[in-house]
Chains A and B, each alone.
Chain A
């Protein structure tokens, strides 16, 4: 069994690798990359050499190519920097030809200065992505010339709340593992994923920070800093990272170099917003869908069943967008806002209509399947036997049929997660919910390549691992099922 799970996890990882690699290849090779810069206002204002230089440095930042200025070429590959910087000199030509030999393309600015760039091919692009993806933090992570005698050790200490935590000096983060009051209560900073920077929306910010950090205005509370001073601040001290140059304000608050903190925000991050909606709607869909399906199978061909079938057909057939607008126009009459940001995160009324729609979208599948399974089971021999033994209809349904019919449904839970992801794209866009589902079409229209790749990674791993989880759940629910094929013999 363990071997099987390991194999499945490995396969899932390969699937994610393949999908994300294909998306990287497509996004980086098929999108005309000049379009990426079009929406950048500072780029549009530039002209001449600064524009060229800005363009190539942006492309380098986005991971398209390796851009080398003349000054960089001269510092890296020439002993005589001054001679090298003179256009047309022997040293200058020599350096240029060495870069040409390395496969770099040489071009000249209007002022005559040469620059070189090397465009990555698909394999290199994919390789770069996966190479930089996983970042491990360790005591040797910070190499700061301003602070050469930084202590390097990992130790178990106590954080500012006197809760034990694994702390580090010399790492990028001060707290490697820590506990706090927010879900999932234990957090780590040791391993992080790097998807590059977001551009052109939220230019320069780390992609994961954009979707992982809180939104809205900052929550300012009186915070006791390590030096003992109490200042009204929004800092989350658990997220302290290394800051090379600390000013006297930092020195006032912090007793070491770990002075860069993320802030606390009042609204959940994009990831959490999507999770809140996804999980609640899934629970609602199961809580309503399964009893409804059971009811339909018990009243087969009677009025209740017929109404249910009409409901299922209508929702399956109608375009989800039309359904969203119909439901919204009905719900609006009860004083519920038609867009999420009207009342925001704090008001419970903002959640009602998106949840109704997400639930409606995933219910018909569930109802059809549970009805089908229940009907199939009710024709089987053990049900006839139970009937012959004089069990009541209610007893047969609840004690015997349901237990057998629920197995495939448990296996289907992950499938509905995949479905709810698809529904979330549309629902979040229609309600302007600031979540990941809205972020994907937004970043596509804005050509935010790194964000697209990051979201693909998140959504596809979510989907793939949920399928794995579904298979494992099925084994838990039904002991007769064995996923690993038994080796022959006994």
Chain B
């Protein structure tokens, strides 16, 4: 087989009929059938992730939110490394001239609190802790939820048991369970993350199960099964790519929800223990100063609102962009 590109006729040189002698044998030659050429699809190139990002970056609000959330996340993870803030240490606690400094005085960007600690340092340390809780809770919820949901959607025997478990767990308010679990387990990071995940994963799993059940009996999956593809391969290669947009939607809802849970639980005094700063803990700690020193209270409240709203909007935009149906222009 020899390969030869078929040169398309150039439209720029219109043929003049008078100049061509159709009987001239030199114009004709034998041509081999070219299989590869007939396979060529003349559609524009399509790359999934390329389209996702093009779509995402065409949304100006989403890009702005991405910048805001990236800045906050980076600050939250890098600033505490520089400041070495420890919530239990208060070096200026006996020096009352350092207490309640207004923002932008003596080099304290956000001022100081009732113990003379820099609010700027405690805020970023708190944001870091809140983010760690929210992100790891989201990770575990999604991971367990997706894995269980995949098999749940396939196995009828598992379905019978899991649906009963779901009926029990989904009816109990998450806040209730989380509060009691944190109470029973103690207020560390692992405990709080466990308490937040333990009821939420089943919601994700149920969500995935329904999607899997919709896709699993499509013809291409039946064909794949007939050809002897193992279950895990069907799940990984045939079904998972379909669920990307759904999973991103779910993640984008989970992260702000977990931040909100952390803030609320810590505010009520049942979240992280006293050793750690967190957004909820700061809000709780500074709420007595809401009227006298408003900056002390409102800065953490604003930070919690800004970070979760921006992460949520980024997630929504990404979920929207990752749906292949939006790629057709």
Q: Which residues of A contact B (CB under 8 A)?
A: 11, 15, 18-19, 23, 26-27, 30-31, 313-314, 316-323, 325-326, 418-419, 421-422, 425-426, 429-430, 440-441, 444-445, 452, 456, 459-460, 463-464, 467
Nearest-Cβ distance from residue A439 to partner chain B, whole angstroms: 11
Q: Are A426 and B309 in contact (CB under 8 A)?
A: no
Question: Would A321 and B260 count as touching, CB distance under 8 A?
Answer: yes
Shortest Cβ gap from B130 to chain A (Å) = 9
* Residue in B179, B253, B297, B308 whose beta carbon sits within 8 Å of that of A319 in the complex: B308
B residues 159-193 near A (Cβ < 8 Å) are: 164, 167-168, 171-176, 179-181, 183-185
Q: How far is B173's CA from A456's CA once the two chains are assembled, in angstroms? A: 10
User: Given contacts A452-B183, A456-B180, are A422 and B175 in contact (CB under 8 A)?
Assistant: yes
12 other A-B residue contacts (CB within 8 Å) besides A317-B311, A422-B173, A460-B172: A11-B167, A27-B184, A31-B183, A31-B184, A318-B309, A319-B260, A319-B264, A321-B263, A426-B264, A441-B268, A444-B269, A464-B171
Bound: A319/B11 CA distance, A: 63
B171 near A318 with CB under 8 A, answer no
Kindly state the separation between the CA atoms of A317 and B167 in the bound complex, as whole angstroms.
26
- Does B264 lie within 8 Å of A459, measured CB to CB? no
Interface residues of B in 279-329 (CB under 8 A from A): 279-280, 283, 290, 297-298, 301-302, 304-305, 308-309, 311-313, 316
Report the nearest B residue to A12, measured CB to CB.
B171
**Given A15-B167, A319-B308, A421-B173: A440 touches B264 (CB 8 Å cut-off):** no
B276 CB–A CB distance under 8 Å: no
Is there an interface contact between B312 and A425, defined as CB atoms closer than 8 Å? no
CA distance A318 to B308 in the complex (A): 6
* List of B residues within 8 angstroms of A460 by Cβ: 171-173, 176
**Bound CA–CA A316/B168 (angstroms):** 25
A426 partner, pick from B174, B267, B302, beta carbons under 8 A: B267
**Within the complex, which residue of A316, A319, A419, A441 is in contact with B269, where a contact is CB–CB below 8 Å?**
A441
Binding site for A on B (CB under 8 A): 164, 167-168, 171-176, 179-181, 183-185, 253, 256, 259-260, 263-264, 267-270, 279-280, 283, 290, 297-298, 301-302, 304-305, 308-309, 311-313, 316
C-alpha gap A270/B312 in the complex (Å): 36
Residues on B with beta carbons closer than 8 Å to the beta carbon of A321: 260, 263-264, 267, 280, 283, 301, 304
Name the 7 nearest CB pairs between A and B, nearest first. Answer: A317-B312, A319-B260, A441-B268, A26-B184, A30-B184, A322-B305, A422-B175
Whether B304 contacts A30 by the Cβ 8 Å rule is no
Contact A444 B305 (CB under 8 A): no
> Which of B172, B267, B302, B305 is A19 in contact with, Cβ under 8 Å?
B172
- A30-B187 Cα distance, complex, nearest whole Å: 13
A33 to B164: give the CA distance in the assembly, Å.
Answer: 33
Q: How far is the CA of A407 from the CA of B59 in the complex (A)?
A: 36
Q: Which residues of B contact A421 (CB under 8 A)?
A: 173, 175-176
Partner among B183, B259, B268, B309 whose Cβ is within 8 Å of the Cβ of A425: B268
User: For the complex, what is the distance from the CA of A452 to the CA of B168, rounded to whole Å?
Assistant: 19
Residue in A18, A319, A322, A444 whose beta carbon sits within 8 Å of that of B180 in the complex: A444
Q: Are A18 and B179 in contact, with the CB atoms below 8 A?
A: no
Within 8 Å by CB of B253, from A23, A316, A429, lies A316
| Selected A-B contacts with CB under 8 Å, 27 pairs | A15-B167, A23-B180, A26-B180, A26-B184, A27-B184, A31-B184, A313-B316, A319-B256, A322-B263, A322-B301, A322-B305, A323-B305, A325-B297, A326-B301, A421-B176, A422-B176, A425-B175, A426-B268, A429-B267, A441-B179, A441-B270, A452-B183, A456-B176, A459-B172, A460-B171, A460-B176, A464-B172
Residues of A within 8 A of B304 (CB): 319, 321-322
Q: Chain B residues near A326 (CB, 8 Å)?
A: 301, 305
> Nearest residue in B to A427 (C-beta to C-beta)?
B264
A418 engages B268 (CB within 8 Å) = no
A319 nearest in chain B by CB position? B260
CA distance A467 to B181 in the complex (A): 23
How far in angstroms is the closest Cβ of chain B from A485? 14
- A residues near B179, Cβ cutoff 8 Å: 425, 440-441, 444
**Is A313 within 8 A of B312, CB to CB?**
yes
Q: How far is the CB of B183 from chain A (nearest CB, A)?
A: 5
A422 contacts across to B, CB distance below 8 A:
173-176
Tell me, rounded to whole Å, the shortest Cβ–Cβ distance linking A28 to chain B. 9
Residues of A within 8 A of B316 (CB): 313
